[in-house]
Amino acid sequence: MKIAIIGSGNVGGALAQGWLRAGHQVVIGAKFPLSEKNQHLATLIGKDKFMGLKEAVQTSEVVLIATPPTAIFDVIAEMGELAGKVIIDATNAVRQKPLPYDTVYHALVDKTPAQVVKCFNTTGFENMLNPTYGELKIDLFMAGDSEEAKKVALQLALDAGFGACMDFGKGDKVVLQEQFALSWINLAIMQGHGRNMAFKVVWR
């Protein structure tokens, strides 16, 4: 797939590496493509992957949003035409909402014609770099109203090395999925269990 990553920090950088390893065409869209902050990632994935935000989005089928939640209005204004594109929202607005919306997902659904899904938000970026724990591959979760966007998110989760991407429900479950992310943050950081922990769903 042709993927544009908006936000090349912890999350965007980790997923760029995983998706490139899986053979996807990944570009990073940024206001300042080869800024000081992007130099390390550029040495890992190549300077040629960095370009302006609009160019990255317009040359891609799928867009990952991995910015602070409140940046979404700037990002929407800069992305250009979005009809026919899938947008994956990896942000968590648990501390800072993109008002008047509860989440970036809701802002994207209201303000763009894209197919939107919330995914890649429920675990730490270290787990996105390496989703393998011994024999186990950890799981992701996805929520939203677009079945088309969910198919893409599922494939990209598997391609990044996750074991599964469980359907958390439709758009009315997006806030719950962000609360689920907060549960990981609570356990890993506030309760001190460390960031090298992850969720895996088991059945019998």
Q: Are the C-beta atoms of residues 161 and 18 closer than 8 Å to each other? A: yes
β 164-169/139-143 pair status: parallel
Give least dist CB 72 to ligand NAP, A: 8
Q: Contacts with ligand NAP in 111-130 (CB under 6 A)? A: 121, 124-125
Give least dist CB 8 to ligand NAP, A: 4
Among 69, 98, 131, 144, binds ligand NAP (CB under 6 A): 69
Q: Contacts with ligand NAP in 95-114 (CB under 6 A)? A: none
Rounded CA gap, 89 and 100, in Å?
A: 17
Q: Is the peptide bond before 33 cis (omega within 30 degrees of 0)?
A: no
Site string for ligand NAP, 8-47 (x = CB under 6 A): xxxxx-----------------xxx--x-x----------
Q: Give the residue from 2, 65, 6, 68 showing the smallest Cα distance to 31.
A: 6
Considering the rule CB under 6 A, would residue 66 count as an interface residue with ligand NAP? yes
Q: What is the dihedral of CA 44, 48, 49, 54, to 10 degrees?
A: 150
**Which positions lie near ligand NAP, rule CB under 6 A?**
6-12, 30-32, 35, 37, 66-69, 71, 74-75, 90-92, 121, 124-125
